[in-house]
Amino acid sequence: MAKDHTDLVLDRELDDLPPDLRWREWMRRIEAVLFASASPVPRKDSARIVGQGAAVDLLIDDLTADLEGRSFEVAKAFGGWMLRTRPAYAAAIRTAADVGDQDLDLREVDVAVLAAIGYHQPITRDRLKDIFGKEISRDLIGRLHAQGLIGAGPRSPRRVAPYTYVTTEKLLIAFDMETLQDLPDQE
């Protein structure tokens, strides 16, 4: 995620600022990085832009509180944080902004297959067939893959080994989960 720009100089410590302004500047730096990033920003990357004694989790908590009542929020996702629009503003964005087709057109069977992949990954189509008691179509798998919700998993090195599937970061973000541990109990 982070790029190494050793030629750039960033005053991380901000010793010339009083403590309250230093803290605010660190919050704003984290906010700017979250705003500019296309994917969740891990803690280690956020720590690269603040002072050595700064607690990234506390900065994120303060930023979250600072954004209370705004149209966007800090969300924890995939081991990091990201800025996202609050769901209450989705209709306004779709009406006025050119955001393309970002809605996930998922049927009940799609969600069930995604859950099975999440619980049992890496998983083959044969294993999905065992779980559902029927063949899962290549079209369904292809649709979930095209939407970026699943990807190719590890494959055995033996000849004609079956393909496996795993969930992606996009699935976690779409369903507002930080990790697969946030999946509901299988019951």
Q: Is the dihedral of CA 176, 89, 103, 151 positive or negative?
A: negative
Q: Are strands 72-77 and 41-42 parallel, antiparallel or unpaired?
A: unpaired
Range of the domain at 88: 19-95
In the sheet with 72-77, reading across from the earlier edge strand, the strands are: 41-42, 80-85, 72-77
Give the pair of three-digit tokens for residue 55. 């607690």
Q: What is the DSSP secondary structure assignment for residue 89, as one 8-state letter?
A: G
Query: Is there a domain that residue 74 lies in?
Result: yes
- Taking the CB of residue 82, how many other CB atoms lie within 10 A of it? 18
83 SS3 class: strand
pLDDT tens track, the chain, 187 positions:
566 655 578 999 999 999 999 999 999 999 999 999 988 999 999 999 999 989 999 999 999 999 999 999 999 887 899 999 888 988 898 888 766 656 677 899 999 999 999 999 999 999 999 999 999 999 999 999 989 999 999 988 888 889 999 999 889 888 888 888 888 887 7
Query: Is there a domain that residue 101 lies in?
Result: no
Q: Is the pTM of this model over 0.75?
A: no
pLDDT computed for residue 2 by the predictor: 62
CATH number reported for the structural domain that contains residue 55 in this entry:
1.10.10.10
